[in-house]
Structure 1
Amino acid sequence: MADIKRSGGVVEDIEKILGFIVEIEKLKDVYRKTKPVGLDRFENSAEHSWHVCLTALMLKDFANEKIDINRVIKMLLIHDLGEIDAGDTIIYANETSENKAKEAAGIGRLLNILPAEMADEFLALWHEFEAGETADSSFAKAIDRVPPLLHNIHGGGHSWKAHGITKEKVFSVNQRIEAGSKELWSVMHNKLEDAVHAGILK
């Protein structure tokens, strides 16, 4: 990232960044629809952000194309910040234009707390992630699907069962992993087939 143009001075820029850091604490109070492996509580979105970043770092060598892991991690750290205002929506639900607009407004509100150049960079990364058309964003979107699948596979399919999610829906939605990593999708596909045979995905 280029050096911030400090039109307002160093102190003002640091104050803006600190204000942003305080505001995004609210992501810790946004709860998702899956439970961490071995725990009887739901994961919050801040935990998910950490988990997908570490997952991306560990699996970066299996991307279909050459990626910039630093950009991927930035995308994954900011991609759910809009949920502070919009809340979490299960991936298998139909995304409404109203919900997407609320999330976009939320990310805009949060990033506007930051110095302008920094805000512009991260907003561009957020839009790139949402579009999923570049090598970095395709891989990031693929990785975003992995932890929730593992939560269900290792948690008796708790979220799938609670929301009546069929195996057809799970396979169709998560096939997007293939766009980021064919090798990863091959392994996850086999795990999902095992879940079907075990009776936790019907």
Structure 2
Amino acid sequence: MLAESCPLPTGLDRRLREQLTFIVEIDRLKTVLRASPLAAADRRENDAEHSWHLAMMVLLLAEYADRPIDVGHTVQLVLVHDLVEVYAGDTPLYDAAARVGQEAREQAAADRLFALLPADQGARLRALWNEFEARTTPEAMFAKALDRLQPMLLNWMSDGGTWRTYGATADEVLHRTAAIGEASSALGDAVRTIVGEAEQRGWTRTSA
């Protein structure tokens, strides 16, 4: 753990010490690079930037959810959804080889990470992470939709981004981002427009 290199004072209340230790540990999220390029700089985004961007998207795009959602709860989901990647690392959406064993890696990482917190909070954050992964509530479905939409926007802003990196076809992009239309018909329509235009510009491979 990061806090082991400079342990917090032993005089702190135990619960607070565990919470602060967790907060220090998830600073690792700022170092986990994603495949997506930034729109504003010539570098890749990190997981912390991605999670912040999703939280803002929830606030701005909640009106497009097909079913009413609790905005605050959805923000919690997107803030927690990638925390396990401090140990498991990011898995690029279009990298089939990297996806092998992803679920097992992330489950093991969740076991390790959330155990750092006091038991009640560890269980609460684990439940949020499980909810996001299961995608059975309106909030989790919309959170997942935005998790797919955000890198799509970054790919558009970089003339194809990871679509070109991994040689994705337009059909593959639509398949891998189907969660968007499942939560929001309006955003699903927007995705089809974006991907169609990207294909015309040569930013995806033409589907067979």
TM-score, structure 1 length as denominator? 0.91
Q: In the alignment, which residue of structure 2 is the partner of 1:60?
A: 62
Match of 2:145, as an amino acid?
A: A
Count of aligned pairs: 192
Measure, in 2, the Cα distance between the counterparts of 1:31 and 1:86: 12
1:148 paired to 2:154: no
Please state if 1:170 is matched with 2:173. yes
- Structure 1 equivalent of residue 161 of structure 2: 158
Q: Which among 36, 41, 44 is matched to residue 42 of structure 1?
A: 44
Quick one: which amino acid aligns to residue 61 of structure 2?
Answer: L
- Whether the 8 Å CA contact 2:33–2:44 is kept in 1: the answer is yes
Which of 108, 117, 140 is equivalent to 2:120?
117
Which structure has more relative contact order (CA 8 Å, sep 6+)? It is 1
- 1:21 counterpart = 2:38: no
Q: TM-score, normalised by structure 2?
A: 0.88
1:189 aligned onto 2:192: yes
Match of 1:6 in 2: none
Q: Percent identity?
A: 36
SS of residue in 2 equivalent to 1:32: strand
Alignment of 1:41-120 (within 5 A): 41-94=43-96, 95-96=99-100, 98-120=101-123
* Distance in 2 separating the partners of 1:89 and 1:101: 12
1:197 shift after superposition: 1.3
Q: Note if 1:133 corresponds to 2:136.
A: yes
Structure 2 residue identity aligned to 1:71: H
Q: 1:38 offset after TM fit, Å?
A: 3.2
Return the offset for 1:131. Answer: 0.9
State the SS of the aligned residue for 1:59: helix
- The answer to whether the 8 Å contact 1:67/1:135 transfers is yes
TM superposition shift of 1:99: 2.1
Structure 2: runs of 5 or more not aligned: 1-11
Instruction: Give me the whole-angstrom Cα distance separating, in 1, the residues matched to 2:102 and 2:182.
Output: 25
2:170–2:196 CA contact under 8 A, matched in 1: no
User: How far is 1:188 from its partner?
Assistant: 2.0
- Which runs of structure 1 show a deviation greater than 4 angstroms over 4 or more consecutive aligned residues? none
Amino acid at match of 2:15: D
Q: Cα RMSD between the aligned structures? A: 1.3
Q: Matches of 1:68 and 1:11 in 2, distance apart?
A: 33
CA distance in 1, matches of 2:146, 2:30: 20
**SS in structure 1 opposite 2:35?**
coil
Contact 1:38–1:155 (CA under 8 A) maintained in structure 2 = no
Distance 1:187 1:196 in 2: 14
Q: Which amino acid aligns with 1:165?
A: A
Q: What displacement does 1:181 show?
A: 0.9
- Contact kept, 8 Å, 2:69 with 2:138, in 1: the verdict is yes
